[in-house]
């Protein structure tokens, strides 16, 4: 079999093709290994963040119970619990109202300025946008 050293053009092309193929395989393997590592890291990180969120919710519950217990020093227990619950409902209503208005500003989810600019560009390319 001729080698690149003894001058066969076909062998040079064959060698380049083999090396390119090997390089492509190695790059694909590297990409797979890198993705596995990143996916594992994302899974572990996501689980830890989820656990932290759950613990945070428990902490908020205990803080609310503490607030109710503090109010119970001055008020009846049922009234203290009711005031904390009403305060939570008020915060919920405000957050919902702000969230709904923010969602409405984002509707419809179409980039209107980009669409208009694309139409202008298309018309200019067709020759209709000369002005």
Q: What is the DSSP string of 56-73?
A: HHHHHHHHHHHHHHHHHT
Structure confidence at residue 127 as a pLDDT band (50, 70, 90): confident
Based on the fold, state whether residues 86 and 121 are members of the same structural domain.
yes
Is 86 part of a structural domain of the chain? yes
Q: Is residue 115 part of a domain?
A: yes
Within-domain flag for 109: yes
Q: Are 1 and 53 in the same domain?
A: yes
pLDDT digits (tens, 9 = 90+) for 58-104: 999 999 999 999 999 999 999 999 999 999 999 999 999 999 999 98
Q: Where in the sequence is the domain holding 11, given as residue range(s)?
A: 1-57
My answer on whether 79 and 106 are in the same domain is yes
- Does 89 share its domain with 41? no
Burial class (CB in 10 A: 0-12, 13-18, 19+), 68: buried
Q: Please state the domain count of the chain.
A: 2
Closest by Cα among 93, 91, 70, 90 to 81: 70
Structure tokens at 104: 């409405």
Q: What is the pTM of this model?
A: 0.56
68 occurs within a structural domain? no
């Amino acid at each position: 079999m001729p080698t690149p050293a003894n001058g066969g053009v076909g062998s040079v092309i064959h060698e380049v093709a083999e090396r390119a193929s090997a390089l492509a395989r190695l790059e694909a393997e590297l990409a797979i290994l890198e993705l596995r590592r990143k996916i594992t890291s994302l899974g572990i990180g996501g689980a830890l963040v989820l656990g932290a969120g759950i613990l945070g919710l428990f902490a908020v519950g205990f803080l609310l119970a503490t607030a109710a217990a503090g109010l119970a020093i001055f008020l009846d227990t049922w009234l203290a619990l009711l005031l904390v619950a009403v305060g939570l409902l008020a915060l919920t209503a405000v957050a919902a109202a702000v969230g709904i208005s923010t969602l409405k500003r984002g509707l419809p989810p179409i980039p209107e300025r980009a669409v208009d600019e694309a139409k202008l560009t298309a018309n200019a390319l067709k020759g209709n946008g000369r002005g």
